[in-house]
Amino acid sequence: MKEDLRSLKNSIVSSYSQVFFSDNHWFGFLILLATFVDPHIGFSGLISIIFSLILLKSSGYNPATIKCGYYTYNVLLTGLAMGAYFQFSITYIIILLIATLLTLLLTIWLSSITSRYKLPFLSLPFVLAIWILLLNAKTLNINILKPDTEYTTGYWSYLGSLSEVLSGKLKSSLILRLIFIYFKSLGSIFFQTNIIAGLLIAGGLLLYSRIAFFLSLTGFICGYIFFTLTHANMSTDAYTYSGINYIFSAIALGGFFLIPSASSYLLVILSTPVIGFILIASARLVEPNSLPLYSLPFSLGVIMFISALNNRYTFKNFHQVQYQLYTPEKNLYAYHMYMERFKKDTYIQLHLPFYGEWFVSQGHEGKLTHKGEWRFALDFVVCDEHQKTFRYPGEKITDFYCYSLPVTAPADGLVVKILDGIDDNEPGEVNLTENWGNTIVIKHLDGLYSKLSHIKKDSFKVKEYDYVKKGDMLALCGNSGRSPEPHIHFQLQTIADIGAHTLKYPLSYYITKRANNYQLHSFDYPEEGETILRPVPSPLIQKAFHFIPGMKFIFDVTNNNNKYTVNWEVFTDSLNQSYLYCHLTGSTAYFTNNDTLFYFTTFKGDKNSLLYFFYLAAYKVLLSYYPDLIVHDQLNVDGYYNGFIKLVQDTIAPFYIFLKPAYTSVFTEADNRHNPKVIMLVSKTWSAGMPGREVNFVIELSDNKIRRIIVKENQSCITAENIS
């Protein structure tokens, strides 16, 4: 029962905040308060929401969709409008419930249509429902309508009179007049005709998002300038009503559907005349029936812009939000974090075609044979500590270190060609007739093939049309074809032909070694003269970070002098994304394990929870043990900073991000380098390039699990012992 009431409360508050594309409950609560400045209007909206939630829940709709207010924010607007149009009576309650059902049906119907085209339905259900109700009210002669002077009937009518609020002094000041019109515009969104409601909504908007607040001002001012320049035949009060459309359009295009940026602000300015023309033309169409426009111009204009952006060939300048986080700041910071972390990632991840340490004897644009159309190829050999590729005397092919070593599949794929039967050359000899020697070609994707050449004769472990997995043994390194000494020739190409031209394509993860110092490379290109190796997972690290659905963790936590127990559980959502869930705080931390790295992608919830600190501590962890190898990454700005500096960053974030929180992790201790039973992971987060927050972590791995987590920030220390 308690959980049902909490869910009902969250669903109600979300219905209010969703009007401004928000999931912030405090913002929703402030809007709810603003609607009750006129209690009759406020109760009408609340009754509509509760009735619609009962209908949705009893009909079996997705609880998550219900909870976020997706289906009910239009219902709220209809209920509020009904409170503004109709007098209270038993007949009114019946009509209100019918209006609620009608709006709900229109919402679900339009959602099913617009979702096919990846378009929003915005407030179209509300506008259509109100039109249907008003036309019926006049046709059926329903006598509970309020007098015409009390509600909006046309484009240049407006709820309330600005002159009642503005004194002569305010009328003489353009800035003060615009401020009051702005507040009244915000209030009129929820059918409140006073400044108090507008102030509450403006305060909530600023609390919810600095970017959304300034976008609303940008849209409002641009609309007012357009309004003035076109000399529209309307009063100042009429612009208060029209300003709603410019405010909503600015927030939607500038920071919700698009990543906030200078380009999105430019789009807000460019959209102003479009919204204005739609507004004026629509007013002419509905004027004969005395129907209100409300947010119709905003809905039509934004849908047109989103549709146009959806049909682009390349995504330049205007970057659309792919995963909605419901605040412009979160969308922006997540986008920048993603671009910094994964901008070089490839759809197909290609790995080195061998295990162990190899030497790049010839890289891209190599000085010997990697020229012209074949310049993006790599040659690999094995060297000793003296950079020799063979054991003395080096007169036999078997003296070479890499000869007969396994050649492995760089990624999953289909073997499409194998050329075999060519003898290996003795040292110093070269077969110029059969250039590539024994070769295998693997198809990974249409337009992406890998080719490995100079294979040892009769050593293939696979055949044509076999499907191979990453790391599967294909054959043995040889010295066939144009090869003066044993080596692996590796290249990527767009077609299956053995003599095809090369394609520049990065390798996903590899490590370079210089004087026993290791460096991790992600989606990079090996350079000639480098000693490189493919990361080999450590069983202890791999098992400790192998989180599967249903796995549970129990930690005894000591936070300074406070002691408590935390329970985590691993879940997978409908998109097959795995996450840790904290039962104590309701927080979630989404993660990925790709067999090379474990890393977190998104955190939602309590920023003081143990799960959040673990999210920071294990933000990016290499699943292999290489002493003193430092893993670097960049954190999401959102959630890491608080206070005034975060407010400043939020305000200017669309144009410049100066906060750059950094992360490093390194394995510093192990009881055994080759088969450790205990490993210590030390990580740190801090403000790069400027003084700020710094948090230090130690994670102890033992018994194939995370044994202990230690967090130190300033004078605070948190210790968590895994007792599960």
What's the rounded mean pLDDT across residues 17-29?
92
697: its two tokens? 């972590």
Q: What tens digit of pLDDT does each residue of 347-391 get?
A: 899 999 999 999 999 999 877 888 888 899 999 999 988 889 989
Phi, psi (degrees; rounded to nearest 5) at 546: -90, 90
Residue 404's closest CA among 361, 458, 442, 362?
458
Predicted local confidence at residue 163, as pLDDT = 39
- Confirm if 335 and 319 have CB atoms less than 8 A apart: yes
| Euclidean distance between CA atoms 519 and 530, whole angstroms | 11
Percent of the chain's residues with pLDDT above 90: 61
Give the per-residue pLDDT at 229: 81
DSSP code of residue 129: H
pLDDT at 335 over 50: yes
Sign of the torsion formed by the C-alpha atoms of 322, 327, 328 and 329: negative
Residue extents of the structural domains in the chain:
1-151, 161-343, 357-533, 539-722
Lowest-pLDDT range, 49-58, 89-98, 145-154? 145-154
If you average pLDDT over residues 621-636, what whole number do you get?
91
On average, the pLDDT of the chain sits at: 88
Q: In this structure, is the dihedral angle defined by the CA atoms of residues 518, 519, 522 and 526, taken in order, positive or negative?
A: negative
Same fold, 1-151 and 357-533: no
First to last CA, the chain: 30
Q: Count Cβ atoms within 10 A of the Cβ of residue 411 and give its class: 0-12 exposed, 13-18 middle, 19 or more buried.
A: buried
Residue 259, phi then psi, degrees to nearest 5: -65, 125
Top CATH class of 357-533 equals: mainly beta
pLDDT confidence of 30, banded at 50, 70, 90?
very high
Report d(CA 360, CA 467) in Å as an integer: 28
- CB contact at 8 A, 74 and 102: no
3-state secondary structure 134-172: HHHHHHCCCCCECCHHHCCCCCCCCCCCHHHCCCHHHHC
The reported pLDDT for the residue numbered 196 is 87
pLDDT at 470 > cutoff 60: yes
Q: CA nearest 439: which of 481, 484, 473?
A: 481
Long-range pairs, 181-185, Cβ under 8 A, ≥24: 181/224, 181/236, 181/239, 181/240, 181/243, 182/217, 182/220, 182/243, 184/160, 184/240, 185/220, 185/240, 185/241, 185/243, 185/244, 185/247
The tens digit of pLDDT for each residue in 526-579 reads 999 999 999 989 999 999 999 999 999 999 999 888 899 999 999 999 888 999
Tokens 């927030």, residue? 251
Q: Which residue in 622, 646, 644 sits closest to 636, CA to CA?
A: 646
Q: What value does the mean pLDDT take over residues 277-291?
A: 85
Superfamily of domain 161-343: Ammonium transporter AmtB like domains (1.10.3430.10)
pLDDT digits (tens, 9 = 90+) for 79-125: 999 888 888 888 889 889 999 999 999 999 999 999 999 999 999 99
Using DSSP, state whether 606 is helix, strand or coil: coil
Q: What percent of the chain has pLDDT over 70?
A: 93
Question: What is the distance between the alpha carbons of residues 65 and 108, in angstroms, rounded to a whole number?
Answer: 12
Q: Distance between CA 296 and CA 307 in Å, rounded? A: 16
Bigger pLDDT: 665 or 38?
Answer: 665
Residue 233 has pLDDT above 80, yes or no: no
* CA–CA dist 590, 572 (Å, integer): 9
**Which of the four pLDDT bands, split at 50, 70 and 90, describes residue 142?**
low
Whether the CB-CB separation of 629 and 670 falls below 8 Å is answered with: no
| CA-CA-CA-CA torsion sign (480, 485, 491, 493) | negative
User: Stretch 184-198: mean pLDDT, rounded?
Assistant: 86
The owner of tokens 């290996």 is 424
Superfamily of domain 1-151: Ammonium transporter AmtB like domains (1.10.3430.10)
pLDDT at 675: 76
* 313 or 309, which is more confident: 309
Parallel/antiparallel/unpaired status of strands 377-381 and 488-493 = antiparallel
pLDDT at 656 over 70: yes
Rounded-to-integer distance, Cα 518 and Cα 551, Å: 33
Provide the pLDDT for residue 134. Answer: 84
Q: What is residue 1's predicted lDDT score, i.e. its pLDDT?
A: 61
Q: How far apart are CA 264 and CA 252, in angstroms?
A: 10
Q: What is the pLDDT of residues 244-278, one digit of tens each?
A: 899 999 999 999 999 999 999 999 999 999 998 99
Instruction: Retrieve residue 116's tokens.
Output: 């096919």
